[in-house]
């Protein structure tokens, strides 16, 4: 998986790096997952935190205090991420911002010769995903995407088992996410942004819009300008596993149905209930989410089921099992009872990234793998938003004969931010 070696960096940064050399990391977007990522980075020998950046001063100071408890030190604190990009002493940037703010910090960091750990989904549009991939390649940067399952042993084992033919001919991959938080917050009125929040910078390239707590920290996931609902949130993690089993191949056709069926009075733009069908020549992938519910399939609120002719392999973060198919009353393959998961995948993922920063190997979830999973999720949302059965040309990175769908590939950027070319 992580095999090819990148050439030396062509950029402004010093070439990396002796094992003994320290790696100076900055975190952009400190509230939730970003800080979790930073904490695991600091567990890897040789890594130190050089800066914290957030547009919300309350978050910035809370995380600075948390960091002081862990390391005994307070790094540089900044509200404008361009100060991180311009700081030549910083080697690595962790991007833990909402999805609409993944692309520019990643692109600028690559151009400035820094390596990047960026959260999933890679970006909030197909165009941005492509741009991030090409920029990382052009500047020969290491970009690890936060799909940490890629570093988990039980995920690696189950995908290998499926690919070995153990469940027979693979016919369908079903991925689903039923999550209580998908019911979203009750609708509240617009208000002014809290003191200390640079709301204009939080919006960044997204359209101007009044502040609303229901679209702010954590809640932005359910507004199109900043996220894509449960499909780009959990869907990216689980569809990534499906794509792994089909070697990253993109579907030919995409159909989706859904809507806001349950939470019409809540602040939600994305679908609370949605199914997507991705068509291939001889199998299909299905994504399904029901926000606000928790029960799901096979007794699991979320997961991936690989359905083969001889059996179904079901996996999620809590473990996995193989359920044999029957030939009359005889199993077609041997059952594998419930197996415990690898709960250390996140630290392994971060450690793999730091190793790759030193060795210049491609990481476990290189930007191209992140691009594939994010694009698959966006294809599903574009099918939902147009209501059309879409045909995807993966060479041209365009939908065939569908101007409405193609118009949703490239995001509009609000001035002064410019969409990277």
Ligand X SMILES: NC(=O)c1ccc[n+]([C@@H]2O[C@H](COP(=O)([O-])OP(=O)(O)OC[C@H]3O[C@@H](n4cnc5c(N)ncnc54)[C@H](O)[C@@H]3O)[C@@H](O)[C@H]2O)c1
Is 209 one of the binding residues for ligand X (CB under 6 A)?
Answer: no
Is 120 one of the binding residues for ligand X (CB under 6 A)?
Answer: yes
Task: Name the residue nearer to ligand X (CB basis): 84 or 357.
Answer: 84
- From residue 201, alpha-carbon distances to 15, 64, 204, 208, 293 in Å are 32, 20, 5, 11, 34
Is 32 one of the binding residues for ligand X (CB under 6 A)?
Answer: yes
**What phi and psi, each to the nearest 5 degrees, are found at residue 127?**
-60, -45
β partners of residue 336: 322
Is 81 one of the binding residues for ligand X (CB under 6 A)?
Answer: yes
Task: Name the residue nearer to ligand X (CB basis): 165 or 218.
Answer: 218
Task: Name the minimum Å distance from CB 81 to ligand X.
Answer: 5
Which residue of 28, 304, 357, 373 would you call a contact of ligand X, by CB under 6 A? 28
Print the binding letters for residues 221-260 with ligand X: x by CB under 6 A, - otherwise. ------------x---------------------------
d(CA 98, CA 87): 23
Task: Name the residue nearer to ligand X (CB basis): 219 or 333.
Answer: 219
Short-list 108, 125, 93, 98, CA closest to 28: 93
Beta-sheet pairing, 143-145 with 115-118: parallel
Neighbours of 280 (CB within 10 A): 15
Is 119 one of the binding residues for ligand X (CB under 6 A)?
Answer: yes
Strand, helix or coil at 55?
A: coil
Task: Name the residue nearer to ligand X (CB basis): 61 or 252.
Answer: 61
Which residue of 13, 51, 52, 55 would you call a contact of ligand X, by CB under 6 A? 55
Residue closest to ligand X when measured from CB atoms: 32
What one-character DSSP code corresponds to residue 191? -
Residue range at the interface with ligand X (CB under 6 A); choices 48-56, 162-170, 173-181, 251-259: 48-56
Which residue of 101, 176, 278, 413 would you call a contact of ligand X, by CB under 6 A? 101
Neighbours of 69 (CB within 10 A): 7
d(CA 117, CA 144): 5
Is 96 within 8 Å of 33 (Cβ atoms)? yes
Place of tokens 């019911």: 183
- Please work out the total of residues on this chain that contact ligand X, with binding judged by CB under 6 A: 28
Provide the CA 70 distance to its chain's centre, in angstroms: 27
Residue range at the interface with ligand X (CB under 6 A); choices 38-46, 199-207, 245-253, 282-290: 199-207
Residue 254 CB contacts under 8 Å (≥ 6 apart), including other chains: 276, 277, 278, 279, 379, 380, 382, 383, 389, 390, 392
Is 204 one of the binding residues for ligand X (CB under 6 A)?
Answer: yes
**Following CA atoms 83, 85, 88, 91 in sequence, which dihedral angle do they give, to the nearest 10 degrees?**
130
Is 97 one of the binding residues for ligand X (CB under 6 A)?
Answer: yes
Residue 68 CB contacts under 8 Å (≥ 6 apart), including other chains: 74
Task: Name the residue nearer to ligand X (CB basis): 95 or 307.
Answer: 95
Beta-sheet pairing, 284-290 with 273-279: antiparallel
Is 218 one of the binding residues for ligand X (CB under 6 A)?
Answer: yes
Is 99 one of the binding residues for ligand X (CB under 6 A)?
Answer: yes
Task: Name the residue nearer to ligand X (CB basis): 28 or 159.
Answer: 28
Short-list 105, 205, 225, 199, CA closest to 419: 205
Is 214 one of the binding residues for ligand X (CB under 6 A)?
Answer: no
Task: Name the minimum Å distance from CB 276 to ligand X.
Answer: 18
Task: Name the residue nearer to ligand X (CB basis): 92 or 161.
Answer: 92
Short-list 407, 402, 387, 379, CA closest to 253: 379
Task: Name the minimum Å distance from CB 343 to ligand X.
Answer: 13
Interface ranges with ligand X (CB under 6 A)? 28-34, 53-56, 59, 81, 96-99, 101, 119-120, 146, 148, 201-202, 204, 217-218, 233
């Amino acid at each position: 998986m992580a095999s090819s070696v990148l050439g030396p960096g062509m950029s402004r940064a010093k070439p990396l790096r002796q094992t003994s050399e320290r790696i100076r990391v900055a975190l952009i977007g400190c509230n939730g997952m970003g800080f979790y990522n930073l904490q695991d980075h600091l567990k890897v020998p040789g890594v130190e935190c050089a800066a914290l950046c957030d547009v919300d001063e309350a978050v910035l100071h809370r995380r600075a205090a948390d960091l002081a408890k862990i390391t005994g030190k307070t790094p540089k604190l900044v509200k404008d991420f361009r100060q991180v990009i311009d700081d030549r002493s910083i080697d690595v940037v962790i991007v833990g911002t909402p999805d609409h703010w993944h692309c520019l910090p990643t692109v600028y960091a690559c151009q400035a010769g820094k390596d990047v750990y960026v959260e999933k989904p890679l970006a909030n549009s197909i165009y941005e995903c492509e741009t991030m991939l090409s920029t990382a390649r052009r500047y020969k940067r290491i970009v690890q995407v936060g799909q940490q399952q890629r570093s988990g042993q039980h995920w690696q084992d189950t995908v290998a088992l499926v690919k070995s033919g153990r469940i027979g001919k693979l016919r369908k991959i079903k991925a689903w996410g039923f999550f209580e938080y998908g019911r979203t917050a009750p609708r509240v009125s617009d208000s002014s942004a809290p003191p200390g929040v640079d709301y204009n910078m939080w919006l960044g390239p997204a359209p101007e819009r009044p502040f609303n707590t229901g679209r702010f920290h954590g809640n932005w996931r359910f507004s199109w300008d900043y996220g894509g609902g449960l499909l780009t949130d959990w869907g990216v993690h689980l569809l990534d596993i499906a794509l792994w089993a089909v070697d990253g191949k993109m579907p030919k056709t995409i159909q989706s149905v859904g809507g806001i069926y349950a939470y019409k009075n809540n602040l939600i733009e994305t679908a609370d209930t949605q199914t997507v069908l991705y068509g291939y020549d001889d199998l299909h992938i299905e994504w399904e989410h029901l926000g606000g519910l928790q029960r799901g399939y096979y007794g699991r609120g979320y997961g991936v089921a690989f359905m083969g002719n001889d059996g179904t392999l079901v996996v999620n973060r809590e473990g996995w099992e193989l359920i044999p198919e029957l030939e009359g009353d005889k199993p077609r393959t041997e059952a594998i009872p419930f197996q415990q998961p690898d709960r250390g995948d996140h630290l392994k993922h971060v450690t793999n990234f730091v190793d790759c920063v030193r060795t210049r190997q491609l990481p476990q979830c290189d930007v191209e793998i992140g691009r594939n999973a994010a694009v698959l999720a966006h294809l599903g949302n574009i099918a939902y938003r147009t209501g059309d059965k879409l045909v995807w040309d993966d060479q041209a990175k365009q939908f065939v004969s569908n101007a409405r769908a193609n118009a949703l590939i490239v995001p509009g950027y609000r001035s002064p931010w410019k969409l990277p070319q």
